[in-house]
C-alpha cells in the first residue's frame, strides 16, 4: 500500500514538473502561439481552394470535434483545479475556437460541394417516410449552423457591437453545438452499431455535465471536492519546496 503511495507521489511530482515546463514555454511565447493559431485557422480555409481537400475533410471533422471538446472542458477544469496551465489555456479559447470553427466549416461545407455526397444524402433524406433527416448528417448540419455565428463573432469588433452580455449569451450556443456534434460523431464514426461510440458519447456528455455542476456547486460532493482540492494543495507545496 505504501509503495502505491510513493509511486503516486512520484507521478504527481513528474506531472507538476511537466506542467510547469509547458506553462513556462507557453507564457513566454503566448502572443506567438495566439498568432500561430490564427494563421493556422486561415490556412485551413485555404483548403477550399485545394483540389485534394477531400482527402483530409474527415480528419478536419475529427480535429474540429476534438477541439470543441477541449475548449468546453477547459472552463470547468480550470475552475476545479486552478492550475496555471489551465488558466493560460483559458486565455487562448478565442483562438482555439476560431481554429475549430474553420476546421468544422471546411469539413461540413466540402461535403456539400461534393456532388456524389450531396446526391446520396439528398436521396436518403427523402427516402425514409417522406422526409426524415438522416440522423447523423442532420446533427452535423445543426452543429455547423450553431458554430457559424460563434466563428463570425469571435472578434473584438463583435464584442463591442453586441456588448459583453449579449455576446456571452450568443456564445452559449457552444453547448447545444457540443451536444449535436457528439451525436454526429456517434453516428458518423467507424461503426455506430458497436457499443464503443455509444459509451463514448454517454461518457463525454455525462462527464461534462458532472464537471460543470461541480464547478458551479463545489460543495455538492464534499469528498470529491476534497480530492480535487488536494491536487491544488500538493501543487502549492511542490512550488514552495522549489523556491
Question: Binding marks (x or -) toward ligand HEM, 63..82, rule CB under 6 A?
Answer: -xx--x--------------
Least spacing, CB of residue 204 vs ligand HEM, in Å = 11
Least spacing, CB of residue 111 vs ligand HEM, in Å = 4
- C-alpha dihedral (148, 150, 152, 156), degrees to nearest 10: -170
Least spacing, CB of residue 177 vs ligand HEM, in Å = 7
Q: Rule CB under 6 A: say whether 58 interacts with ligand HEM.
A: yes
DSSP label at 172? G
The alpha helices in the chain, defined as continuous H runs, are 2-28, 30-46, 57-81, 84-90, 93-112, 115-127, 135-152, 156-162, 164-170, 174-188, 195-216, 222-242
Site for ligand HEM in 91-110 (CB under 6 A): 104, 107-108
Site for ligand HEM in 7-46 (CB under 6 A): none
Spatial separation of the C-alpha atoms in residues 229 and 226, rounded to whole Å: 5
Spatial separation of the C-alpha atoms in residues 8 and 14, rounded to whole Å: 10
Least spacing, CB of residue 180 vs ligand HEM, in Å = 8
Which residue number, 177 or 214, has a Cβ lying nearer to ligand HEM?
Answer: 177
Q: Rule CB under 6 A: say whether 86 interacts with ligand HEM.
A: no
Q: Which of 177, 159, 171, 167 is nearest to 64 (CA)?
A: 177
DSSP label at 134? -
Q: Which residues bind ligand HEM (CB under 6 A)?
A: 58, 61-62, 64-65, 68, 104, 107-108, 111, 137, 140-141, 143-144, 147, 181, 184-185, 188-189
Amino acid at each position: 500500500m505504501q509503495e502505491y503511495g510513493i509511486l503516486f507521489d512520484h507521478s504527481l511530482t513528474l506531472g507538476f514538473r511537466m506542467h510547469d515546463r509547458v506553462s513556462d514555454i507557453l507564457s513566454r511565447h503566448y502572443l506567438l502561439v495566439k498568432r500561430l493559431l490564427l494563421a493556422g485557422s486561415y490556412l485551413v480555409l485555404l483548403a477550399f481552394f485545394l483540389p485534394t481537400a477531400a482527402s483530409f475533410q474527415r480528419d478536419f471533422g475529427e480535429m474540429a470535434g476534438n477541439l470543441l471538446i477541449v475548449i468546453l472542458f477547459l472552463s470547468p477544469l480550470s475552475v476545479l483545479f486552478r492550475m496555471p496551465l489551465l488558466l493560460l489555456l483559458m486565455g487562448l479559447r478565442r483562438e482555439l475556437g476560431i481554429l475549430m470553427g474553420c476546421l468544422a466549416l471546411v469539413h461540413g461545407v466540402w461535403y456539400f460541394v461534393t456532388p456524389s455526397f450531396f446526391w446520396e444524402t439528398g436521396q436518403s433524406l427523402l427516402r425514409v417516410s417522406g422526409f426524415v433527416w438522416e440522423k447523423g448528417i442532420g446533427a452535423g448540419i445543426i452543429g455547423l449552423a450553431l458554430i457559424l455565428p460563434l466563428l463570425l463573432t469571435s472578434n473584438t469588433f463583435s464584442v463591442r457591437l453586441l456588448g459583453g452580455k449579449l455576446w456571452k449569451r450568443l456564445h452559449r450556443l457552444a453547448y447545444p453545438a457540443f451536444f449535436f456534434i457528439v451525436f454526429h460523431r456517434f453516428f458518423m464514426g467507424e461503426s455506430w452499431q458497436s457499443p464503443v461510440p455509444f459509451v463514448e458519447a454517454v461518457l463525454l456528455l455525462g462527464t461534462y455535465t458532472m464537471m460543470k455542476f461541480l464547478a458551479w456547486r463545489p460543495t455538492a460532493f464534499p469528498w470529491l471536492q476534497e480530492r480535487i482540492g488536494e491536487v491544488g494543495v500538493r501543487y502549492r507545496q511542490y512550488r514552495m519546496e522549489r523556491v
